[in-house]
Amino acid sequence: MKRFLLSCALLISTMAWAQSVGFGVHGNMINSNINAKLKEIAGITPSTGVLQVALDEVYGLGLGGGVHFDINMSILSIRISGDYITLSPDKDKFQTFVQQSIPGLPVKFVDGGKVDMISGHASAKLFVLPLPVFKIYATGGAGIANVKATKVILSLGNTNLSPVAILKDQTVGTFNAGAGVDIELGGLTVFGELKVNWIMLEEGTSTYIPILTAGITF
């Protein structure tokens, strides 16, 4: 409760210094790297010399979107953002990973493994090159995220094995840093940015997720 009140007080204080505020929508495209968890599916431990298959190769790209609220103060802005991101594994690539991890056994990937993340964060935007139309900025911040995944189903021969969880449903802290550009077009601003995100999972690992975001602020 004290943290919530402190956050509200800080937000109100920041808005008092604001020159303008804006509201917008955006889309996200991500590349994930939660590779340690895949190796734990059903107790799978790749043997020495087995080709390492990174999660970004198994999952490819994930898509999502969100809304944001900007508090603008000269060359510095504060962005409050809420996002939803989802990604599903490529079945063929996941099957290849399973076969390489358990050679010689008729184990197949059946279904599951979809990862969903709902997050909220506050980030600072520092304009390092505030040109009349194009404004290049550096950004960084922190927040929280709820991460969960559907259980993975594997089969041995014609029999499905018990579903296995690859990630615990959890709400954890996040950090991000990156750069972007605002393009001011009359009464609206089009922007694009590339950020690196760290998600502090309860298992003691941190997940590195590059996120490309593009959107419009009114």
- Alpha carbon distance 218, 212 (integer Å): 20
- Alpha carbon distance 208, 211 (integer Å): 10
**Does the global pTM surpass 0.95?**
no
Just give the CATH number of 21-217: 2.40.160.20
- Alpha carbon distance 24, 104 (integer Å): 53
What are the tens digits of pLDDT across the range 7-22? 444 444 444 455 688 9
Handedness of CA 127, 129, 135, 140 (dihedral sign): negative
Are 201 and 184 within 8 A, CB to CB? Answer: no
Q: Would you write out the chain's pLDDT as a tens digit for each of its 218 residues?
A: 554 444 444 444 444 455 688 999 999 998 765 544 555 554 555 443 333 344 556 777 789 999 999 998 878 899 999 999 998 888 888 887 777 777 777 888 888 889 899 999 999 999 998 788 899 999 999 999 999 989 888 888 888 888 888 788 999 999 999 999 999 998 899 999 999 888 888 766 667 778 899 999 99
- Alpha carbon distance 77, 126 (integer Å): 7
Handedness of CA 74, 190, 196, 200 (dihedral sign): positive
| Amino acid type, 60 | G
Delimit the domains of the chain by residue range. Answer: 21-217
